[in-house]
Amino acid sequence: MRTTIDKAGRLVIPKELRERIGLVPGEVDVRVEGATLRVEPLARDRLTERDGRLTVPPSGDALDDDRVQSLRDADQR
């Protein structure tokens, strides 16, 4: 996905990507990894409420069935 950097050095992160990893307005952690910039939301120390339930804010790590199974398998060893 392409985006732009303006003259002031601000990078536009498309809404779809912000929503996918839970980026909200405020501070983020930005670091260089090789030729890559890594942008991560800062850990929030509070729970959020969604549909009447308390939830842990998203970390950006996707969990699918295979990943859950590998975590279970690792815990069994």
Paired tokens of 5 = 């950097």
Does residue 54 form part of some domain? yes
Host domain of residue 47 = 15-76
* Residue found under tokens 């969604």: 50
Backbone φ, ψ for residue 14 (5° rounding):
-55, 145
Does residue 21 form part of some domain? yes
The model's pTM: 0.47
Does residue 39 form part of some domain? yes
Q: How many structural domains are present in the chain?
A: 1
23, 33 in Cβ contact below 8 A?
no
Does residue 8 form part of some domain? no
DSSP letter for 11, please: B
pLDDT tens-digit map of 9-53 = 999 999 998 888 878 888 888 999 999 998 887 766 667 777 888
Among the listed residues 4, 44, 45, 49, the one whose alpha carbon sits nearest the alpha carbon of residue 28: 44
